[in-house]
Structure formats: structure tokens, C-alpha cells
Structure 1
């Protein structure tokens, strides 16, 4: 096995375990906060939303900064920093006794952590250009698997011990992962690392920025729309399942996890497929997949619980392609050496899209019931499909231009491809 593949495998397992450790607490924030000092029942929902959204907001501003530092000094220090940040904040949460302390530590987590961004930057920096979509898909599958495993383990810890055991366990896991990665992960060299070769047959991102709608702006807008659509039902899905389908908590959990299973099983396969496709062809396929995701959201309103299980799984398969492969396309079209900056910008859009989706979904549901929330998310997917189609047109025009064709021919003759 090539050395870069060994490193990616190490990152895959580390990311899966770290995400699982963080997701152990996600379903239980309202229950944990209820035990703290000075918590009133009528303000619990507000505090839960603040605690959930605080790290997302800060991480949205911090991710590009860490990405730029990784491009300059290497991404291994960023991976270790993110693990240490998770370890520190989980340990502090274990000792927290008030709502304000929890909020402060969650803000600190958003500023210091970010293992998904750091691992993605490292992996795409060391992987060959023609394998980067596969790498993004594999790491996405690791994230999805961790998100499925974490709540189950967290529930067991809560049932057998207490809520604080989640934070103590998470801190211990992140400490062990930090020590492992410090010893086994190689330094990628920052700006001094060797630049992987570029595959032929596509324009670079810098070329597409010369005129017309900037490709960078289009792809980042797609990421924002896709994450907003994904997050919109999260604020009311459990209520929808309970009130419209008569679901028990166990059935609701199964419905919620079905999308994660679809994403976990499909992400690696999507990555392998997109590595074989030209970027323009990939954008056209992504536009079609966004339309399929919109259809899945509409199907929520007309499904029983069994058919909805299949719909959620199909939606998860779409999720395995959309955000990961848009990011992979962004990386593929970029100049080598700026992966961290671009991935940081993409992760910022994901965080802000998540916040916008949760807030927008709650607002639409309050005004037009569940149908309003699902129709709003469907519209976001349709807009994302339209922007992807525009990006496809933009890229095909650039690839067909005489200047791009001449540059490709010259580079092919020189052997740099």
C-alpha cells in the first residue's frame, strides 16, 4: 500500500472515532442542561439552541484561518490542534456547572476544534489529484459512521452512568487519538511539499475566475444551499414523525439514522465514480442528484413510516454525493497548495448553511406547519440544482475556449500532465 494511502486510512479511523465521541452528546443536550444551576423549563429550548449553534457560528469564521495556516505550515499541526481542542473542551464541559460555562466552552470548541476540516485538508494535500474525490468520499463515510455510532454509545453511557460520563469519555478518546496521530501521522510539509500532478481535460479554478460568474462563488453558494436544505427539517423532524406518523422514539431514531446509513454506504462509491468523470460531467450529475434530493423531501409529506424509511435511505445516498463531491470538485479545480484555504471556506459555508437551515426550517414550520418546512427545503435543493447547472455551463465554456485548449495542448506536450 502506498504511503499516502496508509496515512488516509489512519485519518479515516481517527475521524470516525473522534466524530463518534463528539456525537455522543448531541441528542442529550436538553437533558444535560436541565440538570444545571438556574435552568428554567421555559428557557430550556432557547438555551439548547444556543448551545447547539454556538460552535457552528464560531467555526464558520475560524475554519478559513486554520485552513490558511495549514497551507503555510503543514496540515499535521492542524490535525493535532483540532484533537487537542476537542479534548480540552470536553474536559472543561465535564467540570461545568452553569449554562454560561457550557456556552463558553462550546464557543471555545468551535474556535479550536474542527477535526473534519483538518483531516480533509491533510488527506487531499497528500493524495494524488486523480484520487481526491475518492478520499473525500471515504472521509465522508467515516463522518457518517461516527454520527451513527456516537448517539448509541452516548445513550449507553447515560443509562449506565450519567450525562457527564459522555464528556469524560470524549476527552479520554481525543487524548489517545492525539498521542496516536502525533506519533504515526507524517508531516506534509506545508508550502514546501511536492505538488501532485494535475490531470488533463479540465480548466483550473483560476482560469474560470477570469471572466463571467466566478466558479469559486458558484460552488460555495451551492455548498451553502445544500447544507441549508439538509438542516431545515432537523428542528422539527422528530415532531413530524411523532405527530404525522405516530412514530415511537425508537422508530424516529431509525428514520433519522436511515439517511446516515445511505450516506455512509454510498459516499466512497460516489468518490470513485467522480474520480473517473471530468469536472464538468460531475457538475451535471450533481445537478441531477440535487433534483432527486428535492423529490425525496417532497415524498416525506406523502409517505407512511415504512415507505419513509426507504425515502430517507435514498436521500442519504444523495447526501453521500452532493456536499462531498462539490468539495472534491472545488479541490480538483484549484491550484495546488491552496487546499486548506478552499476547504476552510467550504466548511464555513457548511456551518453558516447549517445555522440558516435550522433557523429557516423552524420559521417556516411555525408559519406553514410541516409542509412549509419541507417545501422550503425542497426549494433550496432546486436552487442548488440551478446553480450547479450554471456552474456546468460556465466550466464547459471555459474548457471549450481556444485559450484553454491551447494551454492544455502545450502542457500535454511538455509532459507536465
Structure 2
């Protein structure tokens, strides 16, 4: 067993790493289309097409490859997978600053997906090393790092690109990920007993090892729905803000504020809600978060001023803080250590699928029924998720 100092030190170092990984995945959002435009002669339709491909290919590849890395983590150790992911992403993202055509960029974005797994394996390492009574708080702290990075990534990337050009943000992110690699290499400790390849259970045997497989499978679906809901409004946020501001004013700036607003309470409260889950019941906090999410999306469809939307998006962030950390905690508590890497790998795949499905859903609904319908459909998704979680966790204590 690791000492108290070991798991806490691991938690703080990996939280920093999650922060950098979050930046790495989100920093290109404000300028990727502009960067693509410098790599060839494209019309607007072609830029939109290549932007969509370049954005989505990372998540699609990650969804496919994550279970494999989870399986390898159970056999070789979580620290090794974290080192693989951080070094691989450092080299790949840094190299994106050198591309000369769109095909090279798409290829490197796909490679970034192959080298995914930093966040998932960080969660697994902490979930299997932290004392049982502190698992919720520890995973909540890791989520704080991820959310903070995802929140600041677009801002950091946009500012650096504005000052030094589109290539420098990739180079700086690569250097930061390299620092996360060395911090993990020298300071993260893991007491790990390898599982021989021939003794590693199949998927069917993994499910048989679970004390409550319905809870674990239920959390996979819950993760998918949460991410779909969170990302469904991304394609229409700036358009909705423009409509609320009557096509005048600093639409880009206000859209950035609206987009970033949920990340602020989520970053501040994820660890707190994790602690509440440890003390009063993880299931209770998760259900409370889903109730709030269901209720808070409905009025967003009917706002008449942008400040109303900003306030409501803040409350979305509060509900987010009560969701994914609790899902991860339930997975950690219901998964034996020898298969936890595989379980977190599967869960990450569902998370990536939600990242892709959300924008597609939002675009489809908004084009047919208008912007308000996206928020109402998201509220319906959250309500379905609430019923689903209540059903699959009936036997769960707390």
C-alpha cells in the first residue's frame, strides 16, 4: 500500500497533468479553422469540412483505442500509460506547429487520439491508490484540473495565436506536456502488481468479476449522455448569443464568456462535491446534479437577454461538478483493482463518443426546430439520464 503522502503527491502532480491535457485538447478551438486556412487555398465550405474532420478525428480515434490502453494498463501499470500518453502527446502536438498541409495536420490529430489516455489512467491510478474514504474527493480534484484546462485552453490558445501566430500555441503545449511527463516520471509512485497476459480476463470475465455490473454499465451510458448533453449546444452558442444581442455588440467576446461560464463553478466545486459524495453518498450527489441539470436547461430556451443566459450557464457548471466525478467514483468503488484500467478505458470511450454525438445532435435539432429546441432536448436527455441512474443504482448504497 502507498503511504498517505504518496497518494496525495500523486493526486497533485496528476491534477497538473490533467490541467495541461485539458489545455491540449481544447486550445485549438478559437483558431483551428484559421490555421487550416493558412495550409492551402480553400473556400468556406472546404474550410468547414476540414475543420469538422480535424476536430472530430482525435475523439473518434480515442474512442476506438481507449479500451486497448485500459487493458494494457491493467497488465503493465497505470504510470507507464500516463508516461506514454504525455510523451506521445507532447511530441505530436509540438509537431503540429511544423505542418505544411492539411493532410499532415489531420494525420497528427489522429495520432493525438492514439496517444490519448492521460486523464483516464490518472483517474485509474488515483482510484486504486487513494484510501477508499477519500476516493470521491481525489477524483473530484483531478476533474478540477481537467475542467480548468478545458476552460482556459481556448483562452490561452487564442491569446497566444493572436500575439505570436497560430503555430506557437502547439509548441508551447508540447513543452508543457513534456514537463508533465518528467513530473510523472520522477515524482509519481505506483505500487503495481502486473497481471500476466494469459491471466488477463476477457471482456466477459471482466463483467463477471464486477459485483454490480448493472451499475458499471449504467455509468458508461450515463457518461455518454452527460457528454452528449454538455456538447450539444456548442455549435449554436455563438449564433444564439448573436440572436439575443440583435446582431450587434461584441458577439465573439460574449460568446466566449458564455462558453467558459460553466467551467468556473465546475472547476471550483468538483472536489467539494466529491468530498460530499464520500461523506453522504455518491449516488445522492449524482442524482441531485441530474435534477439540477434537467431543470436548468429548460429556461435557457426562453431567455430574452444574454445576461440571463450567462447566469443559467453558471448553474450548468454547478450541475457538471456533481456529475462526472461521481460517475468515476461509482466506477472506482464497483470495479476490482485488477480490471479498473479496462473499466476506465471503456468509460473514456463512451465519453469521447458523447463528445462527437453532442455537436451532431445540436446541429441537427437547431437546423430543424431552432436554437431553443436544443436546450429543451438537452433537458430531456438529462431527465432520461436521471431515470436511468435511479434504475441502475437501486442496489447502490448512498
Q: TM-score, normalised by structure 1?
A: 0.86
Query: Does the aligned pair in 1 maintain the 2:240–2:371 contact within 8 Å?
Result: yes
Give the whole-Å Cα distance in 2 for the aligned partners of 1:114 and 1:125.
Answer: 16
Distance (Å, rounded) in 2 between the aligned partners of 1:357 and 1:155: 23
- Matched with 1:305 is 306
Supply the distance in 2 between the matched residues of 1:97 and 1:39 (Cα, whole angstroms): 14
Equivalent residue, structure 2, for 1:365: 366
The residue correspondences of 1:57-72 to structure 2 (distance < 5 A) are 57-72=60-75
Counterpart Cα distance in 2 of 1:230 and 1:283: 20
Alpha carbons 1:64, 1:341 under 8 Å: kept:
yes
1:124 and 1:395 map into 2 onto residues whose CA distance is: 18
1:91-133 C-alpha deviation (Å, 9 max, x unpaired): 2211111111111111111011232112112221211122111
In structure 2, the residue matched to 1:253 is: 256
Identify the residue that residue 114 of structure 1 maps to in structure 2: 117
Aligned partner of 1:206 in structure 2 is: 210
Q: Structure 2: how far apart are the matches of 1:287 and 1:22?
A: 29
> What residue is the counterpart of 1:86 in the other structure?
89
How many residue pairs get matched?
A: 379
C-alpha separation in 2, matches of 1:231 and 1:22: 14
For 1:120 and 1:80, locate their aligned partners in 2 and report how far apart those are by CA, in whole Å.
Answer: 14
User: Hey, what does 2:317 align to over in structure 1?
Assistant: 316
> What's 1:288 paired with?
288
In the alignment, the residues of structure 2 paired with residue 308 and residue 107 of structure 1 have an alpha-carbon distance, to the nearest angstrom, of 35
Query: CA separation of 1:239/1:190 partners in 2, compared to 1, >3 Å: closer, same or farther?
Result: farther
- Tell me if the contact between 1:82 and 1:118 (Cα under 8 Å) persists in the aligned partners: no
Q: CA deviation at 1:245?
A: 3.6
CA contact (8 A) 1:75 1:188 kept: no
For the aligned residues, what is the CA RMSD?
1.9
Counterpart of 2:157 (choices 154, 157, 165) is 154
Check the 8 A contact 1:267/1:320 in 2, yes or no.
Answer: yes
Match of 2:39, SS state, is coil
Q: Which residues of 2 match residues 375-414 of structure 1 at below 5 A?
A: 375-395=376-396
Conserved in 2, the CA contact under 8 Å of 1:234 and 1:358? Answer: yes
Q: Tell me the residue number matched to 1:140.
A: 143
Report the structure number with the largest CA radius of gyration.
1
Q: Deviation string for 1:183-211 (max 9, x for gaps)?
A: 2222332447xxxxxxxxxxx982334xx
Q: Which residue of 2 aligns with 1:241?
A: 241
Aligned to 1:355: 356
Partner residue of 2:59 out of 39, 56, 68: 56
Alignment correspondent of 2:11: 8
What are the superposed Cα offsets for residues 131-156 of structure 1, whole Å, 9 maximum, x if unpaired?
11111100111111112222222222
Matching residue of 1:198: none
Q: List gaps (5 residues or longer) in structure 2.
A: 196-207
Residue by residue, what CA displacement relative to the aligned partner does 1:388-412 show, whole Å, maximum 9, x if unpaired? Answer: 110232436xx9xxxxxxxxxxxxx
Tell me by how many angstroms 1:317 deviates. 0.7
Describe the superposition over 1:282-329 as per-residue Cα deviations: whole angstroms up to 9, x where unpaired: 324422321211221112122222222221111101001112211211
Structure 1 residue runs of 5 or longer lacking an equivalent are 193-203, 400-417
Distance in 2 between residues matched to 1:130 and 1:177, nearest whole Å:
27
Deviation at 1:23, TM superposition (A): 2.8
Match of residue 34 from structure 1: 37
Aligned to 2:100: 97
Task: Give the C-alpha shift of residue 21 in structure 1.
Answer: 4.1
Deviates more, 1:104-113 or 1:37-46: 37-46
Mean CA deviation greater in 65-74 or 240-249: 240-249
* 1:274 aligned onto 2:277: yes
Q: Tell me if structure 2 keeps the 8 A contact 1:266–1:320.
A: yes
Q: Residues 355-392 of structure 1, C-alpha deviation per residue, up to 9 Å, x if partnerless?
A: 11111111111111112211221111111001011023
Match of residue 205 from structure 2 = none
Q: Which moved more, 1:18-27 or 1:158-167?
A: 18-27
Q: Distance in 2 between matches of 1:297 and 1:191?
A: 45
